[in-house]
Amino acid sequence: MTVGKLKLRVTDIQCEAKGILLLELRDEKKQALPSFTPGSHIEIYLANGLTRHYSLLNSSVESDRYVFSVSLDPNSQGGSAFIHQKIKLGDMLSVSTPRNHFELVDAEQYCFIAGGIGITPILSMIHWCIAHQKKWTLYYSVRNRQRAAFYESLCALNQEKNIHFHFNDEQADLLNLQKIVQDNAENTHIYCCGPNPLMLALKEASADIAERVHFEWFNAPKLNTSENKTELAILDFTVKLAKSGRDILVKPEQSILEAIEAQGVEVPFSCRAGICGACECRVLRGEPEHLDMVLSDTEKQGNQRMMICVSRSRSPVLELDL
């Protein structure tokens, strides 16, 4: 997948909540920016060599700016810490054009579940629902009121009392995800973004309606590798690069991306964890062993695309559009 790059100026920085910065980017010449849809994210290419992905939270009808927020991770390896400490008003940032692996599907109504900074992609979706007069409900769980990003903005949108806040320090019980799932009719699609425990709990609670539940992962969950891989997965396999005609052996301890890189072939990538979609590649022949968190179950069954940073192969030869 081809992704364009932009140089944009930081035109606003605000402290949105405790440990959370809001940043606004605009074109230096005031040109319109590439359009995006609700749920989209951009990649930020930092001066320290790291690449990070952030969801766009403003309304998708706004063509003059990208707005995103960054939560300071206490265990930051240089991404959120660099942005919080080094990025200043007026700086120029290199970013990608928007991409979307968390697309709103057409539905009569929507149920949004957000945890912490996971509210960011949901905000853009709520703006879209309001503009298109769609029914929606939000369940927003956060540690405490001080860390509730966009609390005042959400309160202003809560005219129909369809936003339910859950503050962990004020309410002893966790969100009742089982009840939320049961209360949503067949014409409702559920969208969730937040910490992995919340996401995994919803994934379990909604197993019977998986086709109507959509996730945006910020971090790859720790899964039981032996359970995640099927008996059809094989150890050594060959990746055939269709465009160059090269055959590359992928060993058990390697990802496809690592094997390709070791042979000097440059391909797009970012997270190396199967959550961002930057390394998405078209499959021409063979059967992938999908281990990513980007593709839906239906997309994985189609075997048309794969994320080469984590996924492997069920067939001895896998031909890719590279």
End residue of a domain, out of 69, 96, 123 = 96
DSSP characters over 220-283: -----HHHHS-TT--SSEEEEETTTTEEEEE-TT--HHHHHHHTT-----S-SSSSS-TTEEEE
Q: Give the C-alpha separation, 28 to 119, whole Å.
A: 28
Residues 316, 245 share a domain: yes
Q: For residue range 307-317, what is the model confidence (pLDDT) as tens digits?
A: 999 999 999 99
The CATH number covering residue 18 comes to 2.40.30.10
What pLDDT does 225 receive?
46
Mean of pLDDT over the chain: 92
- Read off φ and ψ for residue 204, nearest 5 degrees: -70, -45
Q: Is residue 304 domain-resident?
A: yes
Q: Give the C-alpha separation, 254 to 257, whole Å.
A: 8
Q: Is residue 159 domain-resident?
A: yes
Domains: count for the chain: 3
Enter the pTM of the model. 0.84
* Domain span holding position 207: 109-216
Residues 87, 30 share a domain: yes
Q: Is residue 232 domain-resident?
A: yes
End residue of a domain, out of 96, 120, 136 = 96
Residues 72, 29 share a domain: yes
What pLDDT does 297 receive?
84
Q: For residue range 64-92, what is the model confidence (pLDDT) as tens digits?
A: 999 999 999 888 778 999 999 999 999 99
Q: Is residue 33 domain-resident?
A: yes
The candidate with the shortest Cα–Cα distance to 174, out of 143, 138, 209, is: 143
The CATH number covering residue 186 comes to 3.40.50.80
Q: Is residue 235 domain-resident?
A: yes
At 164, the pLDDT band (50, 70, 90 cuts) reads very high
What pLDDT does 229 receive?
52
Q: Is residue 101 domain-resident?
A: no
Mean pLDDT, rounded, for 13-23? 96
What pLDDT does 222 receive?
65
What pLDDT does 223 receive?
52
What pLDDT does 129 receive?
97
Q: Is residue 144 domain-resident?
A: yes
Q: Is residue 312 domain-resident?
A: yes
The CATH number covering residue 312 comes to 3.10.20.30
Mean pLDDT, rounded, for 161-170? 93
Residues 120, 75 share a domain: no
End residue of a domain, out of 66, 96, 126 = 96
Contact 125, 55 (CB under 8 A): no
Residues 138, 115 share a domain: yes
Task: Report the share of the chain in percent with pLDDT over 70.
Answer: 95
The candidate with the shortest Cα–Cα distance to 213, out of 56, 59, 102, is: 102
Mean pLDDT, rounded, for 111-122? 97
What pLDDT does 171 receive?
85
DSSP SS3 for 303: coil
Q: For residue range 124-138, what is the model confidence (pLDDT) as tens digits?
A: 999 999 999 999 999
Q: For residue range 145-158, what is the model confidence (pLDDT) as tens digits?
A: 999 999 999 999 99
Residues 149, 188 share a domain: yes
